[in-house]
């Protein structure tokens, strides 16, 4: 899900078939992303720098070491930005289409999720 953090709107929704990792879905659908767009990912997006240079993932603690204060501050700042994303996901999951098993025809799922994100954009702002 691509979300404008400052405007708090859902820009695009990508989905996969069944259980599919977020980074796999991103690799399949990132082609439309503007190179100047900053992409925030969680720790599951290791290797995103190879696909998109302007991306940001949290720093990992080195084995047997500690993060310095700057890295901790960057992780905290990124987690505050990620909260907007998590709130938008929660907002869509209130409709139960993403949080429960989808039992209708698969080719309509993308359309329905896009309609729900439009409804959420309308209700949020």
Pick 91 or 68 by higher pLDDT: 68
Please name the residue that has the structure tokens 């949020």.
124
6 — pLDDT class (breaks 50, 70, 90): low
What the block records as the tokens of 87 is: 């709130």
**Span 28-38, average pLDDT:** 75
**Span 22-33, average pLDDT:** 76
At residue 104, the pLDDT reads 73
Burial class (CB in 10 A: 0-12, 13-18, 19+), 113: buried
Residue 72: is its pLDDT beyond 80? yes
**Span 46-62, average pLDDT:** 83
Residue 68: is its pLDDT beyond 90? yes
**Span 30-35, average pLDDT:** 73
Residue 66: is its pLDDT beyond 70? yes
Threshold 0.75, pTM exceeds:
no
- Rounded to the nearest 10 degrees, the angle between the axes of helix 109-124 and helix 69-93 is 110
Contact 56, 38 (CB under 8 A): yes
């Amino acid at each position: 899900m691509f979300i404008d953090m400052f405007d708090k709107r859902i820009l695009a929704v990508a989905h996969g078939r069944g259980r599919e990792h977020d980074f796999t879905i991103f690799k399949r659908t990132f082609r439309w992303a503007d190179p100047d767009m900053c992409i925030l990912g969680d720790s599951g997006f290791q290797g995103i720098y190879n696909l998109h240079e302007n991306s940001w993932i949290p720093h990992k603690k080195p084995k047997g070491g500690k993060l310095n204060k700057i890295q901790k501050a960057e992780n905290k700042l990124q987690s505050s930005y990620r909260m907007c994303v998590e709130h938008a996901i929660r907002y869509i999951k209130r409709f139960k289409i993403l949080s429960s098993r989808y039992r209708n025809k698969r080719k309509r799922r993308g359309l329905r999720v896009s309609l729900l994100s439009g409804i959420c954009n309308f209700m949020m702002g």
